[in-house]
Amino acid sequence: MSDAAKPTVELRDVRLSFDEKEVLAGVSLSVPPRSRLVVLGQSGGGKSTLLRLILGLLRPSSGEILFNSLKVTRMGRLRLNRMRQKIGMVYQYSALISSLSVRDNLALPLEELTTKSRSEIDHLVEEKLALVGMSDARDKMPAELSGGMRKRIGLARGIIMDPELILYDEPTAGLDPVISAVIDELIISLSEKIGATSIIVTHEMGSAFKVATHMAMLYQGRIIASDTPENFKASTHPVVAQFIAGDTQGPILQATPS
């Protein structure tokens, strides 16, 4: 297999239980370089858990997770930290530090993890703010921003280190349709501009089909479908079809644990 064909992220039969509950029951997934994989799944189904496993914030009970062919599951703290410098995480609620200005929120990873000078850092901060159309917010505090603006700043911070991989947890949840569309376009243009691979967890079907180059559905702890968006849309798999249509009738409701 050539280098270009190697998956950026690979999960091999990953299992994870919290106490008695098995959240992931053998997840296998392969994310090709520069793709945008949308992961669909029920609330509480383990999607955020999946992202935390990839970042090495959680360890699986069994199975392997690989980032650029390196086993995340075998890494110690030092190598995990080095790997995380190549991964950008965009959190659902932006997770900005409220006591720091927008500029300082974005500069923080650069100050802590690199030896760049202040002017180099300022330049990078301005570049990323421009990418998300938020140059004017440089000196604002997070509390002065709307939810949609915070999301865009969260995005800018997620890509400040020019990551090879960007993980998005519900990037458009709770936003109005126009801002959602802006965020969707940003996800696409960022992945194209910096050549990153993206994994996007979302409930919003419109966003999912707009941004995805690949789709996977997590259901009852397993990936039950992994395909192109076109094939997902045409899927006759009862669970996939029901989820995409947002139908109340079908296997999902019957199988929902009480």
Maximum CA extent, the chain:
58
When asked if residue 48 is in the footprint of ligand ATP (CB under 6 A), the reply is: yes
When asked if residue 174 is in the footprint of ligand ATP (CB under 6 A), the reply is: no
Enter the tokens of residue 14.
Answer: 């990953």
When asked if residue 18 is in the footprint of ligand ATP (CB under 6 A), the reply is: yes
Q: How far is the CB of 54 from Mg ion (least distance, A)?
A: 13
Residue 142 or 221: which CB sits closer to ligand ATP? Answer: 221
Strand 21-31 vs strand 36-41: parallel, antiparallel, or unpaired?
A: unpaired
- The amino acid present at 244, given as its one-letter code, is I
Q: How far is the CB of 77 from Mg ion (least distance, A)?
A: 25
What is the C-alpha to C-alpha distance for residues 252 and 89, in angstroms, rounded to an integer? 29
Torsion of CA 122, 168, 164, 34, to 10 degrees: -130
When asked if residue 48 is in the footprint of Mg ion (CB under 5 A), the reply is: yes
Q: How far is the CB of 127 from Mg ion (least distance, A)?
A: 30
> Segment contacting ligand ATP (CB under 6 A): 27-35, 38-46, 103-111, 135-143?
38-46
**Residues 96-115 close enough to bind ligand ATP by CB under 6 A:** none
> Segment contacting ligand ATP (CB under 6 A): 47-55, 95-103, 183-191, 223-231?
47-55
Burial 199-232 (b: 16+ CB within 10 A, else e): bbbbbbbebbbbbbbbbbbbbbbbbebbbebeeb
> Segment contacting ligand ATP (CB under 6 A): 42-50, 124-132, 191-199, 240-248?
42-50
**Applying CB under 6 A, which of residues 7, 45, 88, 154 lies at the interface with ligand ATP?**
45
Q: How far is the CB of 42 from Mg ion (least distance, A)?
A: 10
Enter the tokens of residue 182.
Answer: 């802006």
When asked if residue 23 is in the footprint of ligand ATP (CB under 6 A), the reply is: yes
Torsion of CA 99, 100, 102, 107, to 10 degrees: -150
Q: Are 211 and 184 in contact (CB under 8 A)?
A: yes
> Segment contacting ligand ATP (CB under 6 A): 37-45, 61-69, 70-78, 144-152?
37-45
Q: How far is the CB of 203 from ligand ATP (least distance, A)?
A: 6
Provide the binding-site residues for Mg ion, judged by CB under 5 A: 48
Residues that bind ligand ATP (CB under 6 A): 18, 23, 41, 43-49
